[in-house]
């Protein structure tokens, strides 16, 4: 996530820098550092921002789960299915998707950001 994407996301959430810092459990100085580009935004913070944006929209009950969209053969072994979170497959660690299985969390979010399951949530 770039500093510009972070700033836009904060504004879409309707949060001041101070309120976002409180929401994420970090200092105001850290938020300033992300928005100024002085610090790289860690993958776990990026995931949290997307989680908040997606859940702000309130669309999750009408969504087709990832295992149905991707015709998944191993859904019973996947934590997204186990926790009935097919709209949060991008957020849940240890998913069994062919495209993200075995990659780091940082790599996973980059792959998922291009997936139609994820992009439809931000739409």
- Look at residue 48 and tell me if it is in a domain: no
- Look at residue 75 and tell me if it is in a domain: yes
- As a 3-state breakdown, the chain gives helix, strand, coil percent values, each rounded to 5, of 60, 0, 40
From the DSSP assignment, how many helices (H) and strands (E) are in the chain? 8, 0
Say what the pLDDT of residue 105 is.
81
Domain membership of residue 121 as a residue range: 59-123
**Mean pLDDT score of the chain:** 87
Model confidence pTM above 0.85: no
Say what the pLDDT of residue 58 is.
60
Asked if pLDDT for residue 59 goes beyond 60, the answer is no
- Look at residue 32 and tell me if it is in a domain: yes
Say what the pLDDT of residue 75 is.
80
Say what the pLDDT of residue 60 is.
56
């Amino acid at each position: 996530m770039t500093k510009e994407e972070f700033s836009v996301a904060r504004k879409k959430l309707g949060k001041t820098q101070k309120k976002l810092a409180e929401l994420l459990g970090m200092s105001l100085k850290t938020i300033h550092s992300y928005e100024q580009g002085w610090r790289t935004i860690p993958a776990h913070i990026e995931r949290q921002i997307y989680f908040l944006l997606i859940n702000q929209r309130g669309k999750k009950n009408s969504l087709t789960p990832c295992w149905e969209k991707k015709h998944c053969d191993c859904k019973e072994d996947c934590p997204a299915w186990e926790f009935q979170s097919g709209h949060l497959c991008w957020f849940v660690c240890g998913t069994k998707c062919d495209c993200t299985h075995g990659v780091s969390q940082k790599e996973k979010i980059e792959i998922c950001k291009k997936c139609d399951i994820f992009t439809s949530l931000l739409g």
